[in-house]
Chain A
């Protein structure tokens, strides 16, 4: 200890935030303030960001507790479009369940599921136009599912088999598809966020009409790349939608460690003059409505928007962790925003456009489709069995043209 000016001040102490409850405790979300559905206003897209600062602290919601679509953000999608959205979310959930099991069966090394977060990427994808580009994290496969990217290709990537479009070079689920507006997933965190801003700047430089969408999780907003992204997006008014998926947990670390003293993650945008909205991430209609608003802003050259999706990661972070070691087992049941699939299902039933029976039937159809895709993918091999990318492939594609030292090493490897 130094000989500092004690006395009047007393000794300092370090504040280390803790979640309200840990494993073994009773889940408690009383600190999550949930406004009523339909209660948050919908400003014009050319609103002065200064006039909507309060939206960074609220939650935009469309689906009421009774499953009705209410308020100024409702009414954008037809029942048919919503049924399609429901199918996408159900497909993603089934896909996840099958791949999670496949990992446990040793058919691949690793998997990450979306359980509880399906609405975010599935609904957002439907608000984009062809040619727009996502810079996703590892938990936005809904962008591919809702964009009709072939499931077999996704599975071949997961299995690193002979049909893997990425030739076995990437960890499972780190998909890449330029054609489907899906930037190659890094696996390092937050790097893609500033790249999204750069891509959007390029589109503006070329007087194009396409926009970009960056994706990040609550935990990685602490990375300096996140802050660089906000500076660049704000300075150059880049046509980009900056998405923060706040699923409450960064592996075992609760969101308070990254958020610190600020009220919300959305509030991070305010200091940059970026309009910032918070939305119920488990409400397909609300996600779509807010995404559409932000995408229109970008498309009209009005600049970036920051969106925080308030959601909950029901499953583990990945196949490599067990959440029961760091949070209450029943916490996901207590999550006050419910389940995105159940909520949309109930809404459609209320609309008279859906029924329990159709839901069950659809579940069964989807399961059949996913199983068929899985069988096809597995016919091209799994990580440790059957066809796989050649060792020669390992040396390809480091550069467009293979330099002499790599050619020598390939010869040395005898492949």
Chain B
């Protein structure tokens, strides 16, 4: 089976869907001629023409607003926000419009759009190229929020997102674009070409939205993670010789609560890891759900390992990033707790 980087897998998903459905259009800043700053849309304009894949003005509100209008018409726009950090000018369009069209029009108008955006840090991007704003979207009724962690899932989830009848926020952990980064920034990352999850089937397949997956079977504790943190968690568990069960959430909204509850009820311990800041982060929602649904099985307090509650720094990137050392410490404490 062909192996692909996450970038190639994401491109493959759009290519597959543009081929199958004339209503799929792709646009964003630098997306058309150049193929996007991360090259996710490379070749799509040449293949499908410039009315199916094109450059947009630097106006995130304009990009999302136009996509909403197109979706109301009957297209299925899959648009790119160059960095998740740039999405805020479009926040009103996403929160007040995309997320609510179906509801407020009683189904008269719907909004099948996908808003793709690279998120997360680890590339020395400073505060404007590193953020993980997922919780700003999981708080919004009417949205779906997806964070893939590998090329296979990225393609299958993106196809599901494009086919979904409702708006999907698709956050791509950019540090994973080329390989499963485990937080050991001093070491080179294994490329996806040497990783099983880099195997990406050709053509159409889906990974369903709303379904988590067990990345590692374990008995001592459950780690809830998504995106880059899946590999950081794996590294931390292995380095400490802890038999952790790792749940890769993949979709944050709607959440696969069943898989979470089943695992935590089995292990009795839960560590939540995300790169975004802690306060009111998605980990808070997870912790609340775990205590609500697994309270009588819990042997230790639910732990959260996250980015600190500061803006994402530049020089101090690795002090900020919740790497394997900090995750490992939380695993040990939770086991001893």
Q: How far is the CA of A195 from the CA of B25 in the complex (A)?
A: 16
List B contacts of A194 (CB < 8 A). 61-62, 65-66, 69, 93
Q: How far is the CA of A141 from the CA of B26 in the complex (A)?
A: 34
Partner of B104, one of A176, A177, A196, A232: A176
Say yes or no: is B92 at the interface (Cβ < 8 Å to chain A).
Answer: yes
Say yes or no: is A392 at the interface (Cβ < 8 Å to chain B).
Answer: no
- CB–CB B73/A203 < 8 A: yes
List B contacts of A127 (CB < 8 A). none
Partner of B103, one of A169, A200, A212, A228: A169
- CB–CB B103/A398 < 8 A: yes
Closest to B51 in A: A205
Say yes or no: is A36 at the interface (Cβ < 8 Å to chain B).
Answer: no
Partner of B141, one of A135, A398, A404: A398
Q: A194-B66, A225-B65, A398-B141 given as contacts; is B166 within 8 A of A405 (CB)?
A: no
Say yes or no: is B102 at the interface (Cβ < 8 Å to chain A).
Answer: yes
The 8 A CB mask of B53-67 against A (1 = contact, 0 = none) is: 000110101100111
Query: Which of B39-47, B106-114, B307-315 is the contact stretch?
Result: B106-114
Q: A194-B65, A195-B97 given as contacts; is B74 within 8 A of A202 (CB)?
A: yes
Say yes or no: is B147 at the interface (Cβ < 8 Å to chain A).
Answer: no
Partner of A232, one of B59, B68, B103, B110: B59
- CB–CB A231/B102 < 8 A: no
Q: How far is the CA of A177 from the CA of B97 in the complex (A)?
A: 16
- CB–CB A201/B109 < 8 A: no
Q: A197-B66, A224-B61, A229-B62 given as contacts; is B72 within 8 A of A188 (CB)?
A: no
Say yes or no: is A362 at the interface (Cβ < 8 Å to chain B).
Answer: no
Docked complex: A222-244 residues within 8 A CB-CB of B: 224-225, 228-229, 231-232, 235
Say yes or no: is A9 at the interface (Cβ < 8 Å to chain B).
Answer: no
Say how far B78's CB is from chain A's closest CB, in angstroms: 14
Q: How far is the CA of A133 from the CA of B108 in the complex (A)?
A: 13
- CB–CB B102/A191 < 8 A: no
List B contacts of A206 (CB < 8 A). 73, 75
Q: A186-B97, A232-B57 given as contacts; is B66 within 8 A of A400 (CB)?
A: no
Partner of A205, one of B75, B93, B258: B75
Say how far B150's CB is from chain A's closest CB, in angstroms: 24
Q: How far is the CA of A399 from the CA of B61 in the complex (A)?
A: 23
- CB–CB B61/A201 < 8 A: no
Partner of B106, one of A133, A165, A225: A165
Say yes or no: is B257 at the interface (Cβ < 8 Å to chain A).
Answer: yes
- CB–CB A169/B104 < 8 A: yes
List B contacts of A174 (CB < 8 A). 104
Q: How far is the CA of A201 from the CA of B74 in the complex (A)?
A: 12
Say yes or no: is B203 at the interface (Cβ < 8 Å to chain A).
Answer: no
List A contacts of B36 (CB < 8 A). none
List B contacts of A198 (CB < 8 A). 65-70, 72-73
Say yes or no: is B52 at the interface (Cβ < 8 Å to chain A).
Answer: yes
Say how far A230's CB is from chain B's closest CB, in angstroms: 10
Say how far A42's CB is from chain B's closest CB, in angstroms: 30
Q: A199-B73, A231-B59 given as contacts; is B106 within 8 A of A167 (CB)?
A: yes
Q: How far is the CA of A169 from the CA of B102 in the complex (A)?
A: 11
List B contacts of A399 (CB < 8 A). 102, 142, 144, 165-166
Say how far A29's CB is from chain B's closest CB, in angstroms: 35
Closest to B75 in A: A202
Say yes or no: is B119 at the interface (Cβ < 8 Å to chain A).
Answer: no
- CB–CB B72/A195 < 8 A: yes
Say yes or no: is B159 at the interface (Cβ < 8 Å to chain A).
Answer: no
Docked complex: B85-110 residues within 8 A CB-CB of A: 89, 92-93, 96-97, 101-110
- CB–CB B65/A183 < 8 A: no
Q: How far is the CA of A205 from the CA of B59 in the complex (A)?
A: 20
Closest to B101 in A: A184
Q: A169-B103, A400-B165 given as contacts; is B108 within 8 A of A177 (CB)?
A: yes
A-B CB proximity, top 3 nearest: A198-B69, A194-B65, A198-B66
Q: A interface vs B, CB < 8 Å?
A: 133, 135, 165-167, 169-170, 174, 176-178, 183-184, 186, 188, 191, 193-206, 212, 224-225, 228-229, 231-232, 235, 397-400, 403-405
Q: B interface vs A, CB < 8 Å?
A: 25, 51-52, 56-57, 59, 61-62, 65-70, 72-75, 89, 92-93, 96-97, 101-110, 141-142, 144, 165-166, 210, 253-255, 257-258
A-B contact pairs, 10 of them (CB 8 A): A191-B93, A193-B65, A194-B93, A202-B70, A205-B51, A229-B65, A399-B144, A400-B165, A403-B210, A404-B210
